[in-house]
Amino acid sequence: MRPVVFCSFVVLPAVLIFGTVPLIPSIVSSRHKVAAATSQPAPQMESVEQDMHEFMEYVFQPTYRRLRKNLNDQAAEGPSWKAIRSDALILAESCNLLFLRQPEADADDWIRHAAAARAGGSDMYKAAQSKDFPKTAAAFRSMLNHCNACHRQFEDGRHILKP
């Protein structure tokens, strides 16, 4: 083998491989040191808007209104499945955020209503996925019954939502 060829095919790769291997532990450990130095308690889930009225008004209300309009318009204009699916999922997932907002009294009932509304939203999302209009509309009504059950108990029957 000629010296130039020997250098580029044998010496150079060997230097690269065996030269960097011993450095790896120090690279890894220095990363860990940095992480340890700046480590803080892991961030927790927390609500951005603590006021329940604002939360319902800006997360649930516009989503519910869009959904209702899209479902009621569909006979005339054809279903906007993407919008319906999106809003059904937003409402279903937003019910999880109600778990962060339990009242002091009757928290168990609150959680049960939130879980039932979440299940209704999830059924609606799945029905919209299969583009089955009667099933989607039925799931919407069923979800609203669960939304309203919480409003009945915790809001003295205010905000009774219509399909």
Answer yes or no whether residue 57 interacts with ligand HEC by CB under 6 A.
yes
Answer yes or no whether residue 59 interacts with ligand HEC by CB under 6 A.
no
Answer yes or no whether residue 89 interacts with ligand HEC by CB under 6 A.
no
For 120, the token pair is: 């209704």
CA quadruple 128, 134, 137, 143: dihedral sign: negative
Could you give the CA distance from residue 80 to residue 74 in angstroms, rounded to a whole number? 7
Answer yes or no whether residue 98 interacts with ligand HEC by CB under 6 A.
yes
Answer yes or no whether residue 71 interacts with ligand HEC by CB under 6 A.
no
Query: Which lies closer to ligand HEC via its Cβ, residue 56 or residue 79?
Result: 56
With CB under 6 A as the contact rule, which of the stretches 14-22, 37-45, 68-76, 111-119 interacts with ligand HEC?
111-119
For 79, the token pair is: 């279903």
Answer yes or no whether residue 68 interacts with ligand HEC by CB under 6 A.
no
Query: Which lies closer to ligand HEC via its Cβ, residue 115 or residue 135?
Result: 115
Answer yes or no whether residue 110 interacts with ligand HEC by CB under 6 A.
yes
Could you give the CA distance from residue 70 to residue 102 in angstroms, rounded to a whole number? 31
Give residues with Cβ within 8 angstroms of 120, minimum separation 6. 92, 139, 142, 143, 144, 145, 146, 147
Residue 129 CB coordination number (10 Å): 14
Binding site for ligand HEC (CB under 6 A): 52-53, 56-57, 60-61, 64, 91, 98, 110, 113-114, 117, 121, 143, 147, 150-151, 154-155, 159, 161
